[in-house]
C-alpha cells in the first residue's frame, strides 16, 4: 500500500477536492464503489512521456477487489511520442487516502501536469 501523506498546500487541489488521474483499475465501477463508496465521474486526459506496462499483483485484497492478477503500471518513457490515456477524477482528500490504501507498494503517488494543463496525482512505478 502506498504511504503518501497529503501536503497542506497541494496545487492539484482546492479546499475540498483533489484531482486523481487514473489509467487502470480505479476506473472500474466495482473498484470505485469498494474504494470510495461511490461511483466517480471524470474527464478524459493524457499523460505525455510515459508508457504502460503490466504488473503482476499478489496482494489478495486487491486481487479479490479488482478480479485481475495483471494491472497496468506507468513508467517514464524515452520516446516523446508515448503517452498514457486515462480519466481525471475530482475526489476528496479522504478518498485520495483510500486510493493510497488500495494501491500496492509497486506504485508511488506523484503530482503531474497532463496534456490539458491540469495538475493531478497519479500512481507511477516506484
Q: How many CB atoms lie within 10 A of CB 65?
A: 17
**Alpha carbon distance 11, 55 (integer Å):** 29
Q: For residue range 1-24, what is the model confidence (pLDDT) as tens digits?
A: 454 444 333 444 445 999 999 999
The domains located in the chain, with CATH, are 18-125 (3.10.490.10)
Q: For residue range 61-106, what is the model confidence (pLDDT) as tens digits?
A: 888 988 888 888 999 999 989 999 999 999 999 999 999 999 888 8
Q: Which residues pair with 111 in a beta bridge?
A: 121
- In angstroms, how far is the first alpha carbon of the chain from the final one? 12
Exposed (0-12), middle (13-18) or buried (19+): which is 70, by Cβ within 10 Å? exposed
Amino acid at each position: 500500500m502506498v504511504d503518501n501523506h497529503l501536503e497542506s498546500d497541494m496545487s492539484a487541489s482546492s479546499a475540498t477536492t483533489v484531482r486523481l488521474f487514473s489509467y487502470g483499475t480505479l476506473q472500474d465501477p466495482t473498484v470505485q464503489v469498494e474504494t470510495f463508496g461511490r461511483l466517480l465521474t471524470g474527464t478524459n486526459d493524457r499523460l505525455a512521456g510515459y508508457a504502460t506496462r503490466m504488473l503482476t499483483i499478489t496482494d489478495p485484497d486487491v486481487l479479490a477487489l479488482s478480479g485481475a492478477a495483471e494491472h497496468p503500471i506507468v513508467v517514464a518513457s524515452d520516446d516523446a511520442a508515448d503517452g498514457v490515456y486515462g480519466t481525471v477524477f475530482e475526489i476528496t482528500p479522504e478518498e485520495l487516502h483510500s486510493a493510497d490504501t488500495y494501491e500496492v507498494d509497486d506504485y508511488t503517488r506523484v503530482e503531474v501536469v497532463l496534456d490539458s494543463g491540469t495538475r493531478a496525482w497519479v500512481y507511477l512505478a516506484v
